[in-house]
A and B are shown apart, each in its own frame.
Chain A
């Protein structure tokens, strides 16, 4: 049944039936095949390249995944079976990587202390700590050095006391290399470009920061060059004892141990930063709900998120339905024009509208206070309750056109006979609306109201661009404000402020996901949308 894998003679009988189309039919057969082979060739070439890079980076697991996925893709498109898979595979691959994997990974991060100060692994933390505590060794020998570079990375070409050339970078310790010598000093090595004096001056700061580990043992210290031509040995005041797994500050004698919290901790509780990433179990979740300073913001942000989503749906639907009823009158002229004008807030990209409104609501300079309210100093965005009201007002402006369109459609789908029957029975206009039209409209727009609730539940843009979540709550240890929704709180915890706490942010994400999933399941149960799938 798949034409792409048909044998040539079968194609021949096919075209014999329709003599007119022989030429076009043959090309119609060859072209898709060519495209398919070309596309798969590109995919396979990219996969081979990716696997080579990944093997070079020793990322075995990822390389394995790439191999397996590529094999499956090739099988799907060369097989005669698996027809649905041919259509589903591209979307599913993206879905798996950027939705499913992201979901699982968020779950994993929620169980770690990942964040500022806990970015890498323990070895990286030890070398970073050692490097930060480097001090020049008095009376150490002077090493002649040349600063070399390769694709933006700086390295030191060192002439050892015995006359050998050694090369190292901040990432890799000194190792012997081939080099050209001038007056007993190594000045160039293949694959690296030697910096000239002027270039060293240009990059003084980078050169001064460069410290090349003497060997793989961090306790042996590092070479640094203050001037770009002479290197000196620096040794860390922190000594790492591999057997005892402790760091000792040799200037004070203080001992720091790995206590399982992802940082070297002294007996008095002092922690050395950076630490490293460890799994902390349910700590983040526990912290979010039991630490009073975090639990309180979580509570009022959750309450406001629900309030905002519900009120947004209610206000936009009420105004939209009201306008739809007002304009749903056959004898009214200019309805098309009204509709085109009322649709405009919906058509303007919402991030732009929110920014414009933020300007108009500025307390001292904004259009609303200065012109509309004649110089009043209404704290639109700086008072906790006014800010909430402003967010709702702007969201009403953004959202009512959509509800207006939807309700107009739903109203016009109600047969006129129903209204007529009601009128004949002597019902007032209000009763007809209340008992006939509203229930019918609600039935048809209910799924959209649920979708609108879900959208507003995570309506990041309006809050972030209008109030920035503010006014800020000064008592909370995280940058949270009175109009923050759960989603903007996650963003701020993860990406703004001095301390980025990926672990806590991910824990919040998981909490939100569970809440949204439960609400959606209940909502879908009620509307029976899931049951309609056949």
Chain B
């Protein structure tokens, strides 16, 4: 299933009837638009609400209820000014942690997928199954052990122990060989082995084949996995909340959750402004890469 079939709009071979009654139009496609509008309203109204309250200069939760009753960017200035919260620091932490985790996850995962896909060795099948089984125990469940492990490591090496962003990234990399490796492994398998055989006959080493031939050909799946890993890390709360203690080391998920732990007393419009700022880059990236993501999800579905 490729993305291109999804984009098939009105094809040339579809007979279009010019003269037809409104009733016929409605039973054919009109009601579809009605359903579509209801669905879009359901999908978008929280988004509209949050944009509206972010533009409300001094909104509490109640004050945000009259949509677009006031327009101003005061709340953006408040959240970015950092007088109440280190929002920009949280934002920077989140982007840095998520980006580094995504890049390293893809790299480690691609190395493993290459080995599993292209080499035959003892323990290969066992390795593949072991990865699935170990992944059934999500890091979420081991959070107590992760906390105790990092607190012990921190006694010897404070740089990667508790309250360290590098330590958090290392923990996330524990999941680098996982479902993502599977997605890549499947994609690697679709490349014909004759490609690397030809290269090997020409005297190319395995390193060269990996970096110069395989990686460029699998870029789409690397992009999808990187994006999925980025979003997963961005959303990750449990491990981050346990490891990152100081406010200026925390991520958006941890910081913003505490900020509105009681929405009644929180500066709701500043939070909404923060939400818009935090969500915009992700939504933009998502819509931009839509085709690849749809393709990646669908290939997982139809395989």
Contact = CB atoms under 8 A, between A and B. Distances in A.
B22 interface: no
A516 interface: yes
B64 A367 contact: yes
Given A105-B145, A327-B32, A98 B279 contact: no
Contacts, number: 325
A248 to B, nearest CB: 33
Given A4-B205, A91-B108, A405-B297, A330 B43 contact: no
Contact of A365 (B62, B115, B157, B252): B62
Contact of B7 (A1, A336, A516): A336
A357 B141 CA distance: 26
Contacts of A351: 235, 237, 252-253, 256-257
Nearest to A529: B132
Contact of A98 (B111, B141, B170): B170
A233 B73 CA distance: 63
Interface in B142-196: 142-149, 155-157, 170-171, 173-177, 179, 181
A266 interface: no
Nearest to A29: B205
B235 A366 contact: no
A520 B136 contact: yes
B122 to A, nearest CB: 9
Contacts of B141: 106, 458, 487, 490, 509, 512-513
Interface residues of A, number: 113
B80 to A, nearest CB: 17
A522 interface: no
Contact of B124 (A84, A86, A352, A397): A84
Contact of A406 (B11, B203, B205, B301): B301
Contacts of A359: 61, 64, 260, 263, 268, 271
A99 interface: yes
B134 to A, nearest CB: 5
Contact of B174 (A94, A502, A513): A94
A358 interface: yes
Contacts of A92: 112, 177
Nearest to A516: B136
A396 to B, nearest CB: 9
B203 A14 contact: yes
Contacts of B127: 88
A487 B141 CA distance: 7
A74 B31 CA distance: 67
A494 B253 CA distance: 19
B70 interface: no
B133 A338 contact: no
Contacts of B47: 344-345, 348
A306 interface: no
Nearest to B263: A359
Contact of B279 (A352, A397, A409): A352
Nearest to B25: A331
A28 B11 contact: no
B32 A348 contact: no
B8 to A, nearest CB: 7
B1 A409 contact: yes
A330 B11 contact: yes
A99 B175 contact: yes
Contact of B282 (A102, A347, A367): A347
Interface in A322-375: 323, 326-327, 329-336, 338, 340-353, 355-360, 362, 364-367, 370-371
Given A356-B46, A402-B297, A458 B60 contact: no
A445 interface: yes
B278 interface: yes
Contact of B43 (A3, A17, A342, A412): A342
A530 interface: yes
Contacts of A105: 142, 145, 148-149
Given A327-B32, A365-B264, A460 B140 contact: yes
A183 interface: no
A31 B149 CA distance: 38
Nearest to A533: B128
Given A2-B206, A330-B10, A410-B302, A517 B134 contact: no
Contact of A95 (B7, B140, B174): B174
Contact of B39 (A114, A323, A333, A360): A323
B97 to A, nearest CB: 14
Nearest to A14: B203
Interface residues of B, number: 116
Interface in A433-460: 444-445, 447-448, 451, 454, 458, 460
Contact of B140 (A50, A54, A487): A487
A97 interface: yes
A367 to B, nearest CB: 5
Interface in B236-260: 237-238, 241-242, 252-253, 256-257, 260
Interface in B19-46: 28-29, 32-33, 35-36, 39-40, 42-44, 46
B29 A329 contact: yes
A87 interface: yes
Given A14-B203, A28-B208, A102 B108 contact: no
A341 B60 contact: no
Nearest to B49: A367
Contacts of B16: 331
Interface string A121-148: 0000000000000000000000000000
A364 to B, nearest CB: 8
Given A345-B43, A513-B137, A533 B125 contact: yes
A280 to B, nearest CB: 15
B246 to A, nearest CB: 15
A403 B283 CA distance: 18
B290 interface: yes
Interface in A58-89: 59, 62, 83-84, 86-88
B202 to A, nearest CB: 9
Nearest to A348: B279
B205 A103 contact: no
B138 interface: yes
Contacts of A332: 29, 32-33
A91 B39 CA distance: 42
A302 to B, nearest CB: 15
A413 B43 contact: no
A370 B28 contact: no
19 contacts: A14-B203, A86-B115, A101-B149, A102-B146, A105-B145, A338-B40, A340-B287, A341-B40, A342-B39, A342-B40, A349-B279, A349-B282, A355-B256, A356-B46, A412-B1, A413-B5, A461-B253, A509-B141, A513-B136
Interface of B: 1, 5-11, 14, 16, 28-29, 32-33, 35-36, 39-40, 42-44, 46-47, 49-50, 60-62, 64-67, 108-109, 111-112, 114-115, 119, 121, 124-125, 127-129, 131-149, 155-157, 170-171, 173-177, 179, 181, 200, 203-208, 210, 231, 234-235, 237-238, 241-242, 252-253, 256-257, 260, 263-264, 268, 271-272, 275, 278-279, 282-283, 286-287, 290, 293-294, 297-298, 300-302
Interface pairs A-B: 3 shortest CB-CB: A98-B174, A3-B205, A409-B298
